[in-house]
Chain A
Amino acid sequence: MQKIILFFLSLLLTTTLMAESFHAQLIATERAQGNTFLLKFSNGRVAFTTSPDANLGPTTYEVSVDEDQNLLQLQVSDDRPEAEEEKNYFLSPENTPTLITEEEARKIFNRLNSKYKRSSECSNRAHVWAWEEFKNNKITSEKVYVLFTASYINRYRFKWWFHVAPLYSVKKGDQIEKWVFDFMFNPQPVSIKQWTDGFVFSKRSCRYTEKFSEYDVNPQTEDCYLMIDSMFTWNPMDMKHQELSGRYKTQFARGEINFAYKQAFQ
């Protein structure tokens, strides 16, 4: 009898040890497969559930998932960014990235802020990295987003529905190359394909799109979509908003920068 109790206690302990929690806003709920639904959160994380609550809305939740991303707990939370500054939205999508040399690229990469916290969110790291380079050295970058389809997430029980990193335009001879600066996952700047290969286990290329809606209502035949946007965007919701409103961010929003520092850096 003691052995049975010990077995269940160790099982409970293991489950607890492997559970992960995070705070984020619910962005979308979509059917993954059969009766399984996929919840997508603002921090890029996902959760699978077979019984989505019909009352779930675009609120910030405290979410707990197991190692296969199955939803364990969902509770309303008050932790959210300050209101966005409406004055930073403009009708022009103009954002010309600075052309940098290979040497400058290496210097920029090596001075990226390495004081990020455990469980920091990619959108917050990317936002701070882009902001610091713009603020300190007047270098304009872009952001590259990889958006994973529900079929890919379900197949690999992948943790995220999107990932983002700063993107720089590098002059290499007569060519201009786009290099991804994802300091947390790559030891040096890499091409977009090398970058996505780190996350797309099938190694399939991601379909490029300029419209978030193409990803949002995709037929699940791709593993991932790729979007490139200005450094002022913070997460894919900005691109959705831009597409719907026709208004673009042309400045960093102080509230978002403050939130990004607080969430992602020491």
Chain B
Amino acid sequence: MKKIKTTAKYISLLCLISCNPETKDQKSILVTTTPASITGDYQVILRPLNNHLAGWIPNGKSELKIDDKTLSIKSWIDDSSAVTHRQFILKGSRCPTLEDDKNKDGVIDIIETVRVSGKIILPLDNNLQVQLGPLDQYPFGNFAYDQEISLKDLEEDLRQPDSNPDDHVIKLTPREFLSFENKVMIVLGINEKTILPDLTQNLDGVSPQLSIPIVCGLIKKTDEL
């Protein structure tokens, strides 16, 4: 089955290269993998969101290193909630503020966040090779996270067809380069006992509490800080 999928992937890649009626220059963009300009060190200052719900002032930091072949991510979060923390890189370039609380329930929920910070491009679980894994692959409580992935594997996965275009997870578009600079990183999850307003929206299959964003930050190249 895996072989069939791999074959289909290469056929679709070949199709992108040969069947696309774009100009020669545009074709070269389609087959170009990660440009050298994305290599370097990045930092994310993860600052609190919805801290009146978290019962604490969650905060953290993330460091991304990209060389020719590998993306490595090291993060830490200080937070009192003994829950699983989903964490994502989103496609947008702005963290939400209270002004983005469109339903005025006092909570910036995940749907309001995705509206301003973009859809999920990379879930930061313990298996970066697959875009969406089960819940138990995310870190728990106060955590330190350390993962590495080959850029080739990551890009191959992100160039697969989007199996569910209606959800909040997206793939790279054919003309889009893989890049992380100025993208948003968020971490979700507050105590399951926290009572939330009825209007609070959640991710499919995840409780409203575990869908609450608790920190957010922009990925910045360290030499630009």
Contact = CB atoms under 8 A, between A and B. Distances in A.
B52 A184 contact: no
A17 B48 contact: no
Contacts of B48: 185, 198
B95 A187 contact: yes
Given A159-B56, A185-B59, A198-B57, A114 B45 contact: yes
Contacts of B76: 118
Interface string B63-95: 000000000000010101110000000000001
Contacts of A184: 45, 47, 59
Nearest to A203: B52
Interface size class of B (residues with CB under 8 A): 20 to 34
Nearest to B79: A67
B40 to A, nearest CB: 16
B78 A119 contact: yes
A187 B45 CA distance: 9
Interface in A148-166: 156-159
B12 interface: no
B36 interface: no
Contacts of B45: 114, 183-184, 187
A67 B51 contact: no
Contacts of A116: 61
B142 interface: yes
B57 A118 contact: no
B47 A18 contact: no
Contacts of A119: 78
Given A110-B225, A186-B47, A118 B78 contact: yes
B55 A157 contact: yes
A111 to B, nearest CB: 8
Q: Chain B: interface secondary structure? A: mixed
A238 B48 CA distance: 29
Interface in A204-243: none
A133 interface: no
A119 B59 CA distance: 10
A17 B81 CA distance: 11
Nearest to B58: A185
Interface in A40-94: 67
B140 interface: yes
A37 B142 CA distance: 26
A181 B140 CA distance: 30
B209 interface: no
B47 A185 contact: yes
Closest 7 A/B residue pairs (Cβ)? A201-B52, A67-B80, A118-B76, A18-B82, A17-B141, A114-B225, A18-B141
18 contacts: A17-B140, A17-B142, A18-B142, A20-B142, A67-B80, A67-B81, A114-B45, A116-B61, A118-B60, A158-B56, A184-B59, A186-B47, A187-B45, A187-B47, A198-B48, A198-B51, A199-B51, A199-B57
Interface of A: 14, 17-18, 20, 67, 110, 114, 116, 118-119, 156-159, 183-187, 198-199, 201
Interface of B: 43, 45, 47-48, 51-52, 55-57, 59-61, 76, 78, 80-82, 95, 140-142, 225
Given A158-B56, A185-B48, A186-B47, 4 more contacts: A18-B82, A114-B45, A114-B225, A118-B60
